[in-house]
Amino acid sequence: MTGNLPSEFDGLKAKRNLRNAMESPAPQLFLAPMAGVTDLAYRILARECGADLTVTEFTAASGLTRKNTYSWLKVESDPRESPFIPQIFGGITEEMVQTVEMLQDRADAVDINFGCPAPKVCRNDAGAALLRDPDRVVSMVRACIAVADVPITVKMRLGTGTGPNTALEICKRLEEEGVTRVCVHGRTLRQRYSGEADWSQIREIVGELEIPVIANGDVTSAESAEACLGKTGAAGLMIGRGAIGRPTIFHEIKRDLGWSTSPPPWGVEDEKVARHWCWRRYLELSEELYHGRLNKNLKRHAVSFTKGLPGASTMRVELHSERDQKKLGEKVSDYLLNLTSESEVAAA
Protein backbone atom coordinates (compact mmCIF):
# COMPACT_ATOMS: atom_id res chain seq x y z
CA MET A 1 0.00 0.00 0.00
CA THR A 2 1.28 3.38 -0.93
CA GLY A 3 -0.05 6.91 -1.13
CA ASN A 4 -2.65 8.72 0.96
CA LEU A 5 -5.63 7.02 2.52
CA PRO A 6 -8.62 6.95 0.17
CA SER A 7 -11.47 9.34 0.84
CA GLU A 8 -13.56 6.75 2.71
CA PHE A 9 -10.95 6.64 5.42
CA ASP A 10 -9.74 10.27 5.53
CA GLY A 11 -9.12 11.28 9.10
CA LEU A 12 -10.16 7.95 10.49
CA LYS A 13 -6.79 7.05 11.93
CA ALA A 14 -7.51 9.64 14.60
CA LYS A 15 -11.31 9.53 14.79
CA ARG A 16 -11.99 5.81 14.25
CA ASN A 17 -15.41 6.73 12.93
CA LEU A 18 -16.73 5.65 9.55
CA ARG A 19 -20.22 7.01 9.94
CA ASN A 20 -19.88 10.20 7.91
CA ALA A 21 -17.42 8.66 5.48
CA MET A 22 -19.83 5.84 4.71
CA GLU A 23 -22.59 8.19 3.63
CA SER A 24 -23.00 8.14 -0.14
CA PRO A 25 -25.79 8.67 -2.70
CA ALA A 26 -26.29 4.90 -2.91
CA PRO A 27 -25.59 2.04 -0.49
CA GLN A 28 -22.16 0.51 -0.86
CA LEU A 29 -21.63 -2.94 -2.32
CA PHE A 30 -18.92 -5.18 -0.84
CA LEU A 31 -17.42 -8.36 -2.20
CA ALA A 32 -17.47 -10.73 0.76
CA PRO A 33 -14.25 -12.42 1.84
CA MET A 34 -14.39 -16.06 0.71
CA ALA A 35 -11.67 -18.68 1.10
CA GLY A 36 -10.48 -19.99 -2.23
CA VAL A 37 -12.45 -17.34 -4.13
CA THR A 38 -11.45 -13.77 -3.34
CA ASP A 39 -7.81 -13.85 -4.35
CA LEU A 40 -6.26 -10.54 -5.38
CA ALA A 41 -7.04 -10.92 -9.10
CA TYR A 42 -10.68 -11.68 -8.37
CA ARG A 43 -10.96 -8.74 -5.99
CA ILE A 44 -9.64 -6.31 -8.58
CA LEU A 45 -11.96 -7.85 -11.18
CA ALA A 46 -14.89 -7.30 -8.81
CA ARG A 47 -13.88 -3.66 -8.38
CA GLU A 48 -13.77 -3.25 -12.16
CA CYS A 49 -17.26 -4.79 -12.28
CA GLY A 50 -18.70 -2.30 -9.81
CA ALA A 51 -17.90 -3.48 -6.28
CA ASP A 52 -17.24 -0.47 -4.04
CA LEU A 53 -15.11 -2.34 -1.52
CA THR A 54 -13.41 -5.72 -1.33
CA VAL A 55 -11.98 -7.71 1.56
CA THR A 56 -9.23 -10.32 1.38
CA GLU A 57 -9.76 -14.02 1.94
CA PHE A 58 -9.97 -14.55 5.69
CA THR A 59 -6.48 -15.32 6.91
CA ALA A 60 -5.36 -17.01 10.11
CA ALA A 61 -3.54 -14.76 12.54
CA SER A 62 -1.44 -17.78 13.50
CA GLY A 63 -0.19 -18.14 9.93
CA LEU A 64 0.67 -14.46 9.61
CA THR A 65 2.48 -14.23 12.94
CA ARG A 66 4.50 -17.33 12.07
CA LYS A 67 5.34 -15.77 8.70
CA ASN A 68 3.72 -18.55 6.69
CA THR A 69 4.33 -17.72 3.03
CA TYR A 70 0.90 -18.79 1.80
CA SER A 71 -0.83 -16.77 4.52
CA TRP A 72 1.05 -13.64 3.51
CA LEU A 73 0.23 -14.21 -0.16
CA LYS A 74 -3.46 -14.02 0.77
CA VAL A 75 -3.02 -10.49 2.09
CA GLU A 76 -1.17 -9.12 -0.91
CA SER A 77 -2.73 -6.01 -2.41
CA ASP A 78 -2.47 -3.59 -5.31
CA PRO A 79 -3.23 0.16 -5.55
CA ARG A 80 -6.24 -0.63 -7.77
CA GLU A 81 -7.89 -2.33 -4.81
CA SER A 82 -7.66 0.72 -2.54
CA PRO A 83 -8.92 0.84 0.15
CA PHE A 84 -7.14 -2.34 1.21
CA ILE A 85 -8.96 -4.32 3.93
CA PRO A 86 -7.41 -7.60 5.09
CA GLN A 87 -9.62 -9.91 7.13
CA ILE A 88 -8.12 -11.97 9.94
CA PHE A 89 -9.39 -14.64 12.31
CA GLY A 90 -8.09 -16.49 15.33
CA GLY A 91 -8.83 -17.65 18.84
CA ILE A 92 -5.78 -16.26 20.63
CA THR A 93 -5.99 -12.57 21.46
CA GLU A 94 -2.23 -12.05 21.55
CA GLU A 95 -1.87 -13.41 18.00
CA MET A 96 -4.71 -11.20 16.77
CA VAL A 97 -3.10 -8.13 18.31
CA GLN A 98 0.28 -8.96 16.81
CA THR A 99 -1.34 -9.48 13.41
CA VAL A 100 -3.04 -6.08 13.52
CA GLU A 101 0.32 -4.49 14.33
CA MET A 102 1.93 -6.31 11.39
CA LEU A 103 -0.77 -5.35 8.88
CA GLN A 104 -1.73 -1.82 9.80
CA ASP A 105 1.11 -0.03 8.01
CA ARG A 106 -0.14 -1.36 4.68
CA ALA A 107 -3.89 -1.59 5.39
CA ASP A 108 -6.61 1.05 5.38
CA ALA A 109 -8.67 -0.97 7.87
CA VAL A 110 -8.47 -4.44 9.41
CA ASP A 111 -11.56 -6.63 9.52
CA ILE A 112 -11.99 -9.32 12.19
CA ASN A 113 -13.96 -12.45 11.35
CA PHE A 114 -16.49 -13.82 13.83
CA GLY A 115 -18.65 -15.31 11.10
CA CYS A 116 -16.91 -18.33 9.60
CA PRO A 117 -18.90 -21.53 10.32
CA ALA A 118 -16.27 -23.99 9.03
CA PRO A 119 -15.75 -26.81 11.54
CA LYS A 120 -11.95 -26.65 11.27
CA VAL A 121 -12.08 -22.97 12.27
CA CYS A 122 -14.68 -23.35 15.01
CA ARG A 123 -12.86 -26.31 16.56
CA ASN A 124 -10.03 -23.89 17.30
CA ASP A 125 -12.40 -21.51 19.06
CA ALA A 126 -12.28 -18.98 16.25
CA GLY A 127 -14.73 -17.58 13.71
CA ALA A 128 -18.41 -17.89 14.60
CA ALA A 129 -17.65 -20.18 17.55
CA LEU A 130 -16.59 -17.13 19.56
CA LEU A 131 -20.13 -15.72 19.41
CA ARG A 132 -21.06 -18.00 22.30
CA ASP A 133 -18.85 -15.82 24.52
CA PRO A 134 -19.58 -12.10 24.00
CA ASP A 135 -17.11 -11.07 26.70
CA ARG A 136 -14.30 -12.83 24.88
CA VAL A 137 -15.24 -11.25 21.56
CA VAL A 138 -15.30 -7.78 23.09
CA SER A 139 -12.03 -8.34 24.94
CA MET A 140 -10.28 -9.50 21.76
CA VAL A 141 -11.54 -6.56 19.71
CA ARG A 142 -10.71 -4.09 22.48
CA ALA A 143 -7.12 -5.34 22.54
CA CYS A 144 -6.84 -5.00 18.75
CA ILE A 145 -8.25 -1.47 18.79
CA ALA A 146 -5.79 -0.48 21.52
CA VAL A 147 -2.82 -1.06 19.21
CA ALA A 148 -4.42 -0.08 15.90
CA ASP A 149 -3.75 3.09 13.95
CA VAL A 150 -6.40 2.12 11.39
CA PRO A 151 -10.13 1.42 11.75
CA ILE A 152 -11.12 -1.99 13.06
CA THR A 153 -14.26 -3.50 11.53
CA VAL A 154 -16.03 -6.76 12.29
CA LYS A 155 -17.99 -9.41 10.39
CA MET A 156 -20.22 -11.81 12.31
CA ARG A 157 -23.30 -14.01 12.29
CA LEU A 158 -26.44 -13.71 14.39
CA GLY A 159 -25.15 -16.18 16.96
CA THR A 160 -24.24 -19.83 17.32
CA GLY A 161 -27.80 -21.15 17.02
CA THR A 162 -27.56 -23.15 20.24
CA GLY A 163 -28.95 -20.44 22.50
CA PRO A 164 -30.15 -16.83 22.31
CA ASN A 165 -28.56 -14.91 19.45
CA THR A 166 -25.78 -12.67 20.68
CA ALA A 167 -25.13 -10.41 17.68
CA LEU A 168 -27.16 -7.44 18.93
CA GLU A 169 -25.47 -7.43 22.33
CA ILE A 170 -22.02 -7.85 20.79
CA CYS A 171 -22.56 -5.16 18.16
CA LYS A 172 -23.70 -2.60 20.75
CA ARG A 173 -20.68 -3.33 22.92
CA LEU A 174 -18.28 -3.24 19.98
CA GLU A 175 -19.61 0.15 18.92
CA GLU A 176 -18.79 1.44 22.41
CA GLU A 177 -15.27 0.03 22.08
CA GLY A 178 -14.66 1.94 18.84
CA VAL A 179 -15.42 -0.51 16.03
CA THR A 180 -16.21 1.59 12.98
CA ARG A 181 -18.43 -0.76 10.97
CA VAL A 182 -20.08 -4.16 11.41
CA CYS A 183 -21.25 -6.61 8.80
CA VAL A 184 -23.88 -9.12 9.90
CA HIS A 185 -24.74 -12.34 8.09
CA GLY A 186 -28.37 -13.15 8.79
CA ARG A 187 -27.77 -16.78 9.75
CA THR A 188 -26.39 -18.58 12.79
CA LEU A 189 -23.34 -20.80 13.02
CA ARG A 190 -25.60 -23.83 13.28
CA GLN A 191 -27.40 -22.93 10.04
CA ARG A 192 -24.18 -22.46 8.10
CA TYR A 193 -25.75 -21.69 4.68
CA SER A 194 -29.06 -23.52 5.05
CA GLY A 195 -32.46 -21.90 5.33
CA GLU A 196 -33.02 -18.21 4.72
CA ALA A 197 -31.09 -15.25 6.08
CA ASP A 198 -33.08 -13.46 8.79
CA TRP A 199 -33.00 -9.89 7.60
CA SER A 200 -35.36 -8.77 10.39
CA GLN A 201 -32.66 -9.42 13.01
CA ILE A 202 -30.22 -7.34 10.98
CA ARG A 203 -32.85 -4.59 10.98
CA GLU A 204 -32.95 -4.71 14.77
CA ILE A 205 -29.18 -4.23 14.92
CA VAL A 206 -29.33 -1.34 12.43
CA GLY A 207 -31.91 0.36 14.66
CA GLU A 208 -29.68 0.17 17.73
CA LEU A 209 -26.34 1.28 16.25
CA GLU A 210 -24.96 4.60 15.06
CA ILE A 211 -22.10 3.07 13.05
CA PRO A 212 -22.79 1.61 9.60
CA VAL A 213 -24.23 -1.90 9.50
CA ILE A 214 -23.69 -3.94 6.34
CA ALA A 215 -26.19 -6.71 5.57
CA ASN A 216 -25.02 -10.08 4.30
CA GLY A 217 -26.94 -13.15 3.18
CA ASP A 218 -29.17 -14.16 0.24
CA VAL A 219 -28.43 -11.19 -2.03
CA THR A 220 -28.17 -12.69 -5.50
CA SER A 221 -29.81 -10.11 -7.77
CA ALA A 222 -30.93 -6.51 -8.01
CA GLU A 223 -34.37 -7.58 -6.80
CA SER A 224 -33.04 -9.28 -3.67
CA ALA A 225 -30.62 -6.39 -3.08
CA GLU A 226 -33.50 -3.94 -3.08
CA ALA A 227 -35.54 -6.21 -0.81
CA CYS A 228 -32.69 -6.64 1.66
CA LEU A 229 -32.02 -2.93 1.87
CA GLY A 230 -35.71 -2.24 2.32
CA LYS A 231 -36.05 -4.83 5.06
CA THR A 232 -32.84 -4.05 6.96
CA GLY A 233 -32.19 -0.35 6.41
CA ALA A 234 -28.51 -1.31 6.16
CA ALA A 235 -25.82 1.09 4.95
CA GLY A 236 -24.71 -1.40 2.33
CA LEU A 237 -24.64 -5.00 1.20
CA MET A 238 -21.93 -7.62 1.31
CA ILE A 239 -22.33 -10.19 -1.46
CA GLY A 240 -20.67 -13.59 -1.21
CA ARG A 241 -22.05 -16.66 -2.95
CA GLY A 242 -24.02 -14.49 -5.39
CA ALA A 243 -20.73 -13.14 -6.73
CA ILE A 244 -18.95 -16.49 -7.20
CA GLY A 245 -18.32 -16.87 -10.93
CA ARG A 246 -20.43 -13.76 -11.43
CA PRO A 247 -18.54 -10.59 -10.55
CA THR A 248 -20.95 -8.77 -12.88
CA ILE A 249 -23.58 -8.82 -10.12
CA PHE A 250 -22.27 -5.50 -8.79
CA HIS A 251 -22.79 -3.77 -12.13
CA GLU A 252 -26.18 -5.44 -12.55
CA ILE A 253 -27.44 -4.22 -9.18
CA LYS A 254 -26.28 -0.66 -9.77
CA ARG A 255 -27.72 -0.64 -13.29
CA ASP A 256 -31.08 -2.19 -12.46
CA LEU A 257 -31.64 -0.09 -9.34
CA GLY A 258 -30.67 3.12 -11.12
CA TRP A 259 -27.59 3.78 -9.00
CA SER A 260 -25.31 4.09 -12.01
CA THR A 261 -25.59 4.74 -15.72
CA SER A 262 -21.94 3.96 -16.46
CA PRO A 263 -21.44 1.46 -19.28
CA PRO A 264 -19.86 -1.86 -18.30
CA PRO A 265 -16.20 -2.48 -19.16
CA TRP A 266 -17.25 -5.35 -21.45
CA GLY A 267 -19.07 -2.86 -23.68
CA VAL A 268 -22.54 -4.28 -24.25
CA GLU A 269 -25.25 -5.45 -21.87
CA ASP A 270 -25.03 -9.11 -22.79
CA GLU A 271 -24.61 -11.80 -20.12
CA LYS A 272 -22.51 -14.14 -22.27
CA VAL A 273 -20.25 -11.37 -23.51
CA ALA A 274 -19.82 -10.20 -19.91
CA ARG A 275 -18.94 -13.68 -18.68
CA HIS A 276 -16.29 -14.17 -21.38
CA TRP A 277 -14.82 -10.71 -20.76
CA CYS A 278 -14.64 -11.34 -17.02
CA TRP A 279 -12.89 -14.67 -17.48
CA ARG A 280 -10.33 -13.19 -19.88
CA ARG A 281 -9.78 -10.29 -17.51
CA TYR A 282 -9.30 -12.65 -14.55
CA LEU A 283 -6.64 -14.53 -16.52
CA GLU A 284 -4.90 -11.26 -17.42
CA LEU A 285 -4.89 -10.06 -13.82
CA SER A 286 -3.66 -13.43 -12.55
CA GLU A 287 -0.75 -13.42 -14.97
CA GLU A 288 0.11 -9.84 -14.07
CA LEU A 289 -0.19 -10.15 -10.29
CA TYR A 290 1.05 -13.63 -9.49
CA HIS A 291 4.40 -13.40 -11.29
CA GLY A 292 4.48 -16.96 -12.57
CA ARG A 293 3.15 -18.56 -9.37
CA LEU A 294 0.49 -21.22 -9.71
CA ASN A 295 -3.00 -19.86 -9.10
CA LYS A 296 -4.48 -22.32 -6.60
CA ASN A 297 -7.96 -20.94 -7.21
CA LEU A 298 -7.99 -21.17 -11.01
CA LYS A 299 -9.84 -24.49 -11.37
CA ARG A 300 -12.40 -23.46 -8.79
CA HIS A 301 -13.06 -20.25 -10.68
CA ALA A 302 -13.27 -22.19 -13.96
CA VAL A 303 -16.02 -24.36 -12.48
CA SER A 304 -17.87 -21.32 -11.12
CA PHE A 305 -17.71 -19.36 -14.37
CA THR A 306 -19.17 -22.28 -16.36
CA LYS A 307 -21.69 -23.65 -13.86
CA GLY A 308 -25.09 -24.33 -15.39
CA LEU A 309 -24.05 -23.54 -18.95
CA PRO A 310 -24.78 -25.92 -21.86
CA GLY A 311 -22.10 -28.56 -22.30
CA ALA A 312 -20.11 -27.25 -19.34
CA SER A 313 -20.11 -30.52 -17.39
CA THR A 314 -18.34 -32.32 -20.23
CA MET A 315 -15.81 -29.53 -20.58
CA ARG A 316 -15.13 -29.49 -16.83
CA VAL A 317 -14.27 -33.20 -16.86
CA GLU A 318 -11.44 -32.33 -19.24
CA LEU A 319 -10.31 -29.51 -16.97
CA HIS A 320 -9.78 -31.78 -13.98
CA SER A 321 -6.96 -33.58 -15.79
CA GLU A 322 -5.40 -30.40 -17.22
CA ARG A 323 -2.25 -29.51 -15.30
CA ASP A 324 -1.12 -26.63 -17.51
CA GLN A 325 -2.85 -23.53 -16.15
CA LYS A 326 -2.41 -21.54 -19.35
CA LYS A 327 -4.09 -24.29 -21.38
CA LEU A 328 -6.84 -24.60 -18.78
CA GLY A 329 -7.54 -20.89 -18.97
CA GLU A 330 -7.65 -20.95 -22.77
CA LYS A 331 -10.02 -23.92 -22.84
CA VAL A 332 -12.50 -22.09 -20.64
CA SER A 333 -12.05 -18.91 -22.67
CA ASP A 334 -12.68 -20.73 -25.95
CA TYR A 335 -15.75 -22.40 -24.50
CA LEU A 336 -17.23 -19.08 -23.29
CA LEU A 337 -16.37 -17.35 -26.57
CA ASN A 338 -18.14 -20.10 -28.49
CA LEU A 339 -21.28 -19.52 -26.42
CA THR A 340 -21.06 -15.83 -27.24
CA SER A 341 -20.75 -16.58 -30.95
CA GLU A 342 -23.73 -18.94 -30.85
CA SER A 343 -25.76 -16.23 -29.15
CA GLU A 344 -24.88 -13.73 -31.86
CA VAL A 345 -25.88 -16.19 -34.60
CA ALA A 346 -29.19 -16.90 -32.89
CA ALA A 347 -29.88 -13.17 -32.57
CA ALA A 348 -29.20 -12.65 -36.26
* pLDDT tens-place string over residues 93-113: 999 999 999 999 999 999 999
**Segment 309-320, tens digit of pLDDT:** 998 888 888 888
Count of Cβ atoms closer than 10 Å to residue 62 Cβ: 20
Pick the CATH number of 7-256 from 3.40.50.1820, 3.30.830.10, 3.20.20.70, 3.40.630.30: 3.20.20.70
Query: Is 116 annotated as catalytic?
Result: yes
Q: How confident is the model at residue 344 (pLDDT cuts 50, 70, 90)?
A: low
Average pLDDT over residues 185-212: 96
pLDDT the model gives residue 342:
64
Q: Which residues contact 165 (CB under 8 A, 6 or more apart)?
A: 158, 159, 188, 201
Contact 253, 259 (CB under 8 A): yes
* Lowest-confidence segment of 22-26, 176-180, 272-276 by average pLDDT: 22-26
pLDDT the model gives residue 200:
98
Average pLDDT over residues 306-311: 90
Q: How confident is the model at residue 235 (pLDDT cuts 50, 70, 90)?
A: very high
Count of Cβ atoms closer than 10 Å to residue 124 Cβ: 15
Average pLDDT over residues 73-99: 96
Rounded Cα–Cα distance for residues 273 and 340 (Å):
6
Q: Omega before 83 cis (within 30°)? A: yes
Average pLDDT over residues 225-239: 98
pLDDT exceeds 50 at position 18: no
pLDDT the model gives residue 21:
37
Rounded Cα–Cα distance for residues 182 and 348 (Å):
49
Rounded Cα–Cα distance for residues 31 and 126 (Å):
22
**Given 49, 116, 171, 183, which residue is catalytic?**
116
Q: How confident is the model at residue 338 (pLDDT cuts 50, 70, 90)?
A: very high
pLDDT the model gives residue 341:
74
> Checking phi first, is residue 85 left (phi over 0); if not, alpha (psi -120 to 50) or beta?
beta
Rounded Cα–Cα distance for residues 66 and 84 (Å):
22
pLDDT the model gives residue 3:
35
Task: Output the average pLDDT for the chain.
Answer: 90
First-last CA distance in the chain: 48
Q: What percent of the chain has pLDDT above 70?
A: 91
pLDDT exceeds 90 at position 9: no
Among 243, 199, 227, 235, residue whose Cα is nearest residue 51:
243
pLDDT the model gives residue 17:
34
Q: Which residues of 258-287 are buried (b: 16+ CB within 10 A; e: fewer)?
A: ebeeeebebeeebebbbbbbbbbbbbebbe
Q: Which residues contact 59 (CB under 8 A, 6 or more apart)?
A: 71, 74, 75, 86, 87, 88, 89
Rounded Cα–Cα distance for residues 21 and 9 (Å):
7
Strand partners, 156: 114, 184
* Lowest-confidence segment of 135-149, 228-242, 279-293, 311-325 by average pLDDT: 311-325
